[in-house]
Amino acid sequence: PEHLRAAHWSGFNAAMTKGVMKRQGRPTLTRALHKSGRKLYVEMTFAVVKGDESEVLGSVAMARDVTDRVERERSAARTT
């Protein structure tokens, strides 16, 4: 979503400059926006890709739609 983009790019640029990421491969839950406009909850994991000399070559990210799980957990929490 638009309101999360500045923080995303700030974190990405810092990771590419420093060669390390704050979460170091641990998944994080965040909001995402599907191309259809539907809002999702996604669990994301990021990693920095380094070369033989430890130079930063790029990054990789995995995102998994966990909207159903989050909604079930929130519904269960409201009923207890």
Question: What's the confidence (pLDDT) of residue 78?
Answer: 87
d(CA 23, CA 8): 13
Return the pLDDT at 14. 92
> Which pLDDT does position 8 carry in this prediction?
87
pLDDT at 24: 77
Taking the whole predicted model, whether its pTM rises above 0.85 is answered as no
Does the structure show a pLDDT above 80 at 5?
yes
Q: In 3D, which of 48, 41, 43 has the Cα closest to residue 1?
A: 41
Domain residue extents for the chain: 2-79
Question: What is the amino acid identity at position 76?
Answer: A
Which CATH number does the domain 2-79 belong to among 3.30.450.30, 3.30.450.20, 3.40.1160.10, 3.40.50.150? 3.30.450.20
* All residues at 6 or more sequence positions from 49 whose CB lies less than 8 Å from its CB, including other chains: 56, 57, 58, 59, 60
